[in-house]
Structure 1
Amino acid sequence: MPLSMLKSGIRAAVLLSVCLAGRTVWSEEVQLTVQDVPQPLAAAVKQLETREGWGITYEEPPDKPAPKGSLTLTYTVTDATRADPRFQEQVLTQLLARPAGKDAPRFRLVQAGGLWHVTPEQGSPLETPITLPRQKRPLGELLQRLCAEVTKRSGTQVELGRTAGLPLETRVTLEAVNREPARAVLARLLNSAPRRAAWTLRTQGTAQKYLLSPHRIFRLTGDTPEPVLEK
Structure 2
Amino acid sequence: MPLFMMKSGIRAAVLLSVCLAGRTAWSEEVQLTVQDVPQPLAAAVKQLETREGWGITYEEPPDRPMPKGSITLTYAVTYASRADSKLQEEVLTRLLAQQTGKDTPRFRLVQAGGLWHVTPEQGSPLETPITLSRQERSLGELLQLLCAEVSKQGGTQVELGTTAGLRLETRVTLEAVTREPARAVLARLLNSPPRRAAWTLRAQGPERKYVLAPHRIFRLTGSPMPAAGNAPGPAPVK
Please indicate the TM-score interval, normalised by the length of the shorter structure. 0.7 to 0.9
Q: Distance in 2 between matches of 1:72 and 1:190?
A: 30
Counterpart position of 1:228 = none
SS of the equivalent of 2:164 reads coil
Q: Deviations over 1:9-34 (max 9, x none)?
A: 99998787555423311100000000
Q: Distance in 2 between matches of 1:185 and 1:80?
A: 30
Query: CA-to-partner distance for each residue in 1:30-58, whole Å, 9 max, x for gaps?
Result: 00000000110000000000000000000
Q: Distance in 2 between matches of 1:18 and 1:117?
A: 38
Contact 2:67–2:104 at 8 Å: present in 1 too? yes
Trace 1:11-22 onto structure 2 (pairs within 5 A): 17=17, 20-22=20-22
CA contact (8 A) 1:62 1:207 kept: no
Shift of 1:102: 5.1
Which structure 2 residue ranges, 5 or more long, are not aligned?
Answer: 1-8, 225-238
From the superposition, tell whether residues 44 and 201 of structure 1 become closer, same or farther in structure 2 (CA, over 3 Å).
same
Is the contact between residue 200 and residue 212 of structure 1 (CA under 8 Å) also seen in structure 2?
A: yes
> Structure 1 residue 190 and structure 2 residue 195: aligned?
no
SS at match of 1:206: coil
Report how many aligned residue pairs link the two structures. Answer: 217
Hey, what does 2:50 align to over in structure 1? 50
Q: 1:79: how far off? A: 1.2
The 1:206/1:110 distance shift into structure 2, 3 A limit, reads farther
Matched residue, 1:41: 41
TM-score between the two structures when normalised by the length of structure 1: 0.87
SS at match of 2:199: strand
* Equivalent residue, structure 1, for 2:163: 163
Change (3 A) 1:103 1:207: farther
Give the C-alpha shift of residue 100 in structure 1.
5.8
Residue 201 of structure 2 contacts residue 210 of structure 2 at CA under 8 Å; is this kept in 1? yes
Percent identical among aligned pairs is 84
RMSD (Å), alpha carbons: 2.3
What TM-score results when the alignment is normalised by the length of structure 2? Answer: 0.85
Q: What letter is aligned with 1:36?
A: D
Summarize the Cα distance change of 1:159–1:23 in structure 2 as closer, same or farther, 3 Å threshold.
Answer: same
Counterpart-to-counterpart distance in 1, 2:15 and 2:149? 61
The corresponding residue for 1:5 is none
Q: Structure 1's 24 and 134: CA in aligned 2 closer, same or farther, altered over 3 A? A: same
Partner of 2:234: none
Is 1:90 the counterpart of 2:90? The answer is yes
Q: CA shift at 1:207, angstroms?
A: 5.9
| Further displaced range: 102-111 or 130-139 | 102-111
Secondary structure of the residue aligned to 2:63 is: coil
Query: Letter of the aligned partner of 1:187 in structure 2?
Result: A
Q: 1:127, CA displacement in angstroms?
A: 0.3
Does the CA-based 8 Å contact 2:139-2:168 persist in structure 1? yes
**How many Å apart are 1:183 and its aligned residue?**
0.1
Partner of 1:227: none
Q: Which runs of 5+ in 1 are unaligned?
A: 1-8, 224-231
Mapped contact 1:63–1:207 kept (Cα < 8 A)? no
Moved more, 175-184 or 85-94: 85-94
- Residue 102 to residue 22, structure 1, CA distance change in 2 (3 Å): same
